[in-house]
Amino acid sequence: MEIYTFSQWVLFFYIYCFLGWVFESVYVSISEKHWVNRGFLKGPLLPIYGFGALCVLVVTIPFRDNLPLMCLAGMGSATVLEYVTGAVMEKLFHVRYWDYTGRLLSVNGHICLASVLCWAVMTILVVDVLQVQLEKVVLAVNEQIVTVIVFAVTPFVTGDLVTSFRAAIRLKDVLVYLEHAEEELAQLAERRRELEMALAERRHEMDTLFEKRRSEMETLFEARRSEMETSFEERRNEIEKALEERRHELGMSLEERKIDLEKYLRENGGHGITPVKGMADHIAAVQELTDKLSTLQEKAGRLSAESELLQKLNGKSIRGLLKRNPKAVSYSHRDAFASLKKRMIRKTDETKEEQASDESSAD
């Protein structure tokens, strides 16, 4: 292998990134049954393949005359690179942009037997086939032209990398916020259920107490009314019998009876009031529970609104990142990630429907 200049190494890196993107996009598009611009970047580059190819080219230099050792060295170095890259990205972004969980001999979902064998095949393909042809082409180009090409492409790749990195960080922030919001909403929902149950119990107690007091009051008033009627009839008969004899005392006697009757009513009339006062505590408790429930509902609505706003602000870049990585998963925020993907899909479908509607209107 020739000794390459820095610009030539960078150009090889870009070429292998592009070839890796072509392979992955075609493979995933066939799997998804629609075109997928695969990769972490927006542009047609997959850095993991570029780094993997360069790693294989460098590590296998001492073993070019021994195919098994060359294959083993390239396979091992590329596998280590893939594992470290996957682990670091998951740690940094809380998302796995490729996941081999469930595959044969999978190690933490970052590598598996199939990926290891693919790197073995890639080692032979890169060293003995691709690099031989690419080397002829690149070395045939004037070095200054290679440098110009590298300097022209690098700013776009760097900008794409920065943009995609920021989108991945935003995605992590959204997942963390959604998980926190979901947990708080779940707590609020549980508290709301508790308050509704307590409120229902209070209302039932209040209704029972009211019915009991009303029944007691009716019974008491009926008894008092019957006693008053009987007493009044007895008094009237006595007055009629003694009317002739005690006519001159009638005025005084009536006044006395009136005073007695008023006193009697004052002494016994309070029984219908005292039980009602006992309901004040229940009414106050019901009002307190109602106020708390209203506060929880307001807080839940605010959390939902904040969540929708955060996703709206970051939706476009995050949606593009998820579209380029349809198999991405998040084990750190499993439920929040699944919820976000569903919302993104729903938003995409709504956009397509709006576009179709606009086209129909235009026709």
H helices present in 33-66, as ranges: 47-59
Q: Residue 147's pLDDT is what?
A: 96
Nearest in space to 257 (alpha carbons), one of 239, 245, 244 = 239
Rounded-to-integer distance, Cα 354 and Cα 331, Å: 34
Rounded-to-integer distance, Cα 115 and Cα 82, Å: 9
Q: Residue 339's pLDDT is what?
A: 79
Place of tokens 């021994």: 66
H helices present in 126-142, as ranges: 131-140
Q: Residue 220's pLDDT is what?
A: 78
Rounded-to-integer distance, Cα 12 and Cα 136, Å: 12
pTM (predicted TM-score) = 0.66
Q: Are 122 and 56 in contact (CB under 8 A)?
A: yes
Sign of the torsion formed by the C-alpha atoms of 176, 179, 182 and 186: negative
Sign of the torsion formed by the C-alpha atoms of 52, 57, 60 and 63: positive
**Residue type for 167, please?**
A
Nearest in space to 135 (alpha carbons), one of 38, 8, 272 = 8
pLDDT in tens, the chain (363 residues): 558 999 999 999 999 999 999 999 999 999 888 899 998 999 999 999 999 999 999 999 999 889 999 999 999 999 999 999 999 999 999 999 999 999 999 999 999 999 999 999 999 999 999 999 999 999 999 999 999 999 999 999 999 999 999 999 988 988 888 888 878 888 888 888 888 888 888 888 878 887 887 788 778 767 777 776 676 577 666 666 765 666 656 556 556 666 765 676 667 654 444 444 455 666 666 667 767 767 766 766 665 655 555 555 456 677 788 888 888 888 888 888 887 777 777 766 666 666 666 666 665
How far apart, in Å, are the Cα atoms of 307 and each of 192, 311, 332? 20, 6, 19
Q: Are 86 and 111 in contact (CB under 8 A)?
A: yes
Going by C-beta distance under 8 Å and a sequence separation of 6 or more, which residues neighbour residue 348?
A: 319, 323
Q: Are 111 and 79 in contact (CB under 8 A)?
A: yes
Nearest in space to 53 (alpha carbons), one of 95, 1, 103, 100 = 1
How far apart, in Å, are the Cα atoms of 154 and each of 42, 79, 148, 168? 14, 26, 10, 21
Q: What is the dihedral of CA 55, 58, 63, 69, to 10 degrees?
A: -10
Q: Residue 103's pLDDT is what?
A: 92
SS3 96: strand
Q: How far is CA 150 from the centre of its chain?
A: 42
Rounded-to-integer distance, Cα 75 and Cα 354, Å: 49
How far apart, in Å, are the Cα atoms of 32 and each of 42, 291, 343? 18, 51, 19
